[in-house]
Amino acid sequence: MESNKLYRINEFVSPADRRSLVVDTSAGLALGALPGLEHFAEAVAPILPLADGIVTSPGQARRLSNRTRADAALLVRADWTNALRGEDFVLPPETIFHIPLLEPADALDLGASALVAHVLLGHEEHIEAGCLKNVVQLALNGTPLSLPLIAEVGVTGPRVVLRGKAIELGVSYSIECGADGVVVPWPGAESLRTILTMTAGLPVWIRADTLDPADATLNEALAIGATGVWLGAEVFATPDPAATLTSFKALVHGAVPQTA
């Protein structure tokens, strides 16, 4: 069963270099139509051969029926939250909500290679507990189906004080709850080394907050040993998303010296 999970992980983590470039288009669930993604299938078609994985909502996944094995593997978002809405959103959230969307069997029916779920920290206790409960349930129900679960750690809540330590804590919770990999914002070099030790070989992506592949933190993360880069849908608002992805692909799968 674990070998089947690894087979699926290898669909979006290259077996050749154990690196991975993932593009997440699922933020539209909370934010509405995103710039450049108004015509979803047409917009993502040029980047499918360039990325290792693409994260979609369940509805978006149904619009990628023409995807081939040479294209990015499909990862499906398993939950919804309005925590992604900032103060500049047309209706800023007064109360944070987190809602599970689908079960692993549903994701398999969509052709998913993995599920992606939020782990939100710094919010009210019931939000944090609900996220972790959801991770546990998805892991339990996904294991018999050999469907991996990737936990995306978010630390934007108002109660976060020590950001790096909060990210470490979120990773620890996620792995204990059964996640097969994690996505984290840049936590700092020391915290990333701790996280890589904690995850013991499971994939760890750094969520990019820039579209500059020369960004020092992304390069440092890969040099330290991160699996790869997790890009947001902002890439589709650039003049040439495919060119941007090509640059990030060179960053992720190019020769990066490892540090001790």
Q: What is the DSSP string of 60-91?
A: HHTT-TT--TTSPEEEEE-EEESTT--TTSSS
For 132-189, the pLDDT digits (tens) are 999 999 999 999 999 999 999 998 888 888 899 999 999 999 999 999 999 999 999 9
pLDDT surpasses 90 at 107: yes
Residue 140 lies in a domain: yes
Residue 258 confidence (pLDDT): 42
Residue 2 confidence (pLDDT): 66
Residue 259 lies in a domain: no
102-126 average pLDDT score: 95
Residue 117 lies in a domain: yes
Alpha helices by DSSP H, listed for the chain, are: 2-9, 28-31, 40-44, 58-61, 104-109, 125-142, 163-176, 189-199, 216-224, 241-253
pLDDT surpasses 50 at 39: yes
Residue 157 confidence (pLDDT): 82
The count of structural domains within the chain is 1
Give the CATH number of the domain where residue 129 resides.
3.20.20.70
99-114 average pLDDT score: 96
Let me know: does 54 contact 91? Beta carbons within 8 Å.
Answer: no
Domain region containing 71: 2-253
Say how many residues make up the chain. 260
pLDDT surpasses 90 at 28: no
Confidence (pTM): 0.93
